[in-house]
Amino acid sequence: MDAFRGKTAVITGGAGLLGAAMALRFARVGMNVVIADIHQDRIDETVRAVEALGVSALGVVTDAADAGAMDALAEAAYARFGAVHILCLNAGRAILKPFAELTRDDWNAVLGVQFGGVLNGVLSFLPRLIAQGGERHIVVTSSMSGVGRADLRLLNAPYVTAKFAAVGLSEVMQPALAPHGIDVSVLCPGMTVRDPEALAKSGAYAMPSAAWYKDNLLDAAQVAEEVLHGVREKRLYIFPHRAGRGEVESRHAKVIEGFDQAARTSPE
């Protein structure tokens, strides 16, 4: 995207740690921002912070898992600003439990936001984005959990499942939407925290996947900066955490091992 000033970004989960950081980063390059979240007080706080940077902001209470709420968000964004140039589908939720203890409600709660929220956003905004024309970019927030090693995340199965699905959807959308002039990126951060220095000192990592990034902890502003670069460069994958390369290589070694095992047998 050549010029951000005067354009509009919509961010679901826009008042959370990463969502608010993206809102502020977009505001600093002159973009108007629509902040969608389930928490009104956090929305209000983020709207004030964005407006303090001299751009316009709109807060909309939105449950990303609710298709009707996402339709209403699209209506509100276009009614206020007339166009959407960056759509960040970022709302998320996790429930940490041993796999055998997860209930159907747990799975539905996480998948409904983490993947259903992304799909709802695509379906609610896409017809307008196609009709709009010009530069448009969809950024789907996945995670290193969507491309890395599931065995490092045994307490987070619904989240991992949803994040893999978000990667697959993004990989399909990129070539499918290219003829419409719509760019697609999938954001895959590793361990992102409010205070990397404090976490590094404490060494309190909930799962091995978090400890993998102990030497590559980033705060949300650093991840948001990488999102801006990724949009500018029209990257399919946005990888803020450089330590993620080793995790992906480790996972894919296991995939290739499966092919090697298959090569040692003859089809019946």
What is the set of active-site residues? 159
User: Which of 151, 145, 142, 169 shows the shortest CA–CA distance to 254?
Assistant: 151
**DSSP character at residue 85:** S
In order, the DSSP letters of 185-247 are EEE---SB-S-HHHHHHH---SSHHHHTTTTS-B-HHHHHHHHHHHHHHT-SEE---TTHHHH
Q: Which tokens hold the place of 93?
A: 């939720």
Q: In degrees, to the nearest 5, what angle opens at C-alpha 204 toward C-alphas 198 and 207?
A: 130
Q: Compute how many other C-beta atoms are within 10 angstroms of the C-beta atom of residue 202.
A: 9
**DSSP character at residue 55:** S
CB–CB of 77/8 below 8 Å?
A: yes
Residue type, 187: L
Distance CA 231, CA 211 (A): 29
User: Which of 14, 75, 22, 21 shows the shortest CA–CA distance to 40?
Assistant: 14
